[in-house]
Amino acid sequence: MSKFWSEAVKRCDPYVPGEQMNNPNILKLNTNENPNPPSPNVMEAINKEMERKLNLYPSPTVDQLRNEIAAYYHLAKENIFVGNGSDEVLAFSFMAFFEPGKKIRFPAISYSFYPVYAKLFNIPYEEIPLNRDFTLPVEDFFQSEGGVIFPNPNAPTSVYLGLDAIEEILQSNPNQMVIIDEAYIDFALESAVSLIATYDNLLVVQTMSKSRSLAGLRVGFALGNPNAIEALTRIKDSFNSYTLDRLAIVGAEAAMKDTDYFIATTQKIIQTREWVITEMKKRGFYVVPSKANFIFASHYTKSALGLYTALKENEVLVRHFNKPDIDNYLRITIGTDNDMKLFFQKLDDILEKAS
Ligand code: PMP
């Protein structure tokens, strides 16, 4: 703390990201990255761009990438905003649509960046407790004062909320923005993007970090009514006229175009996830029904913190949250089949020693 700090900085408890480790032997299942490399076309596009264009500024409007994303969803580029990871898109969304003095709502167990942004931008908030099975208590999100935000599927629980419930929330908040953070939607069922044409209070935020294997490139985007997109663009232009660099733009375009690779890799992760869930259950875990590229699991007799620590000693990193209601759960990212076989080998050793 310093006398030079602004009130905003004093209020802010920065988000603590999952551990990143230099040890190359570590099996990293803690930050929901994709275990597959990006489409080979991404590397090719980036190499070409590096050879030719790095001395030139990127496009401030990023039209080509926005067109590519729009085409995938049968929308227009006016429906698309792109930013430096969905974290930046979410931060801009808080500034564009939520305001001091009007309470927003988000789930009490949810993406821990939301309270960080809310405090930073002085937006009051209510944290809505989830149901006991971690499903969203839909009616508690009706008629909010200042707006609503939640991830779908939720993180870290992996629970998916259907479009009927989302429509009820949208209809009961006609004068407030409802932001749906779909970081993990490609491992789930239907996206709420199909509702954009009907609801001008809907903003969907997605990322290329998970299903497109591009966490290192930092590309996120929002989809919504052109008025909502214009609001985000105003915020962006006030901070930085170029939020995406040239390599990120061409890499993201190539990833967006390679639909075959995208489908093959996401389907494979879903298949591995289902196998992992079965194997976890055989080992005495309760696993929350997952629609994401991670699972949320609790052992019937062993403590999650004990398992987290033992796994870490065995060079396996998973995520444990020191938070009431979920401190006996582990969040485990789905890796390749080989990653998960190694995970089970190490887990079995630990469970055996502990029994
Ligand atoms: N939303 C949720 C729910 C997430 O879990 C994450 C990843 N930590 C993000 C947004 C941000 O993803 P990125 O900034 O990599 O797009």
Distance CA 147, CA 94 (A): 10
Q: How many CA atoms lie within 13 A of 104 on its CB side?
A: 26
Superfamily of domain 7-37+260-354: Aspartate Aminotransferase, domain 1 (3.90.1150.10)
* Residue 31 CA to ligand 1 centre (angstroms): 9
Asked if pLDDT for residue 22 goes beyond 90, the answer is no
Take atom 4 of ligand 1 and give the residue whose Cα is closest. 183
In the chain, residues under CATH classification 3.40.640.10 are 40-258
Residue 18 or 157, more confident: 157
State the closest ligand 1 atom to the C-alpha of 110, by its place in the atom list counted from 1.
3
* 8-18 CB burial, b ≥16 within 10 A, e <16: eeeebeeeeee
Strands 148-151 and 316-317: unpaired
* Residue 129 CA to ligand 1 centre (angstroms): 21
* Residue 87 CA to ligand 1 centre (angstroms): 6
Distance CA 244, CA 259 (A): 22
Q: Which residues lie with the beta carbon below 6 Å from any ligand 1 atom?
A: 85-87, 111, 151, 155, 181, 183, 207, 209, 215, 220
Instruction: List pLDDT tens digits, range 186-204.
Output: 999 899 999 999 999 999 9
State the CB neighbour count (10 A cutoff) for residue 286.
13
Q: How many CA atoms lie within 13 A of 347 on its CB side?
A: 24
The sign of the CA dihedral 258, 262, 268, 269 is positive
Instruction: List pLDDT tens digits, range 74-99.
Output: 999 999 999 999 999 999 999 999 99
Which pLDDT belongs to residue 8?
A: 86
Closest-CA residue to 105 (of 132, 130, 135): 130
CATH 3.40.640.10 fits 40-258, yes or no: yes
Which pLDDT belongs to residue 240?
A: 85
Closest-CA residue to 220 (of 205, 231, 242): 205
Instruction: List pLDDT tens digits, range 98-149.
Output: 999 999 999 999 999 999 999 999 999 999 999 999 999 999 999 999 999 9
Asked if pLDDT for residue 285 goes beyond 90, the answer is yes
Q: Which of 69, 86, 186 has most ligand 1 atoms within 8 Å of CB, for mutation?
A: 86
Instruction: List pLDDT tens digits, range 302-312.
Output: 999 999 999 99
The DSSP symbol for 130 reads P
* Residue 353 CA to ligand 1 centre (angstroms): 36
In the chain, residues under CATH classification 3.90.1150.10 are 7-37+260-354
pTM (predicted TM-score): 0.96
Asked if pLDDT for residue 221 goes beyond 90, the answer is yes
Angle, CA of 41, 219 and 175, to the nearest 5°: 135
Which pLDDT belongs to residue 355?
A: 74
State the closest ligand 1 atom to the C-alpha of 207, by its place in the atom list counted from 1.
16
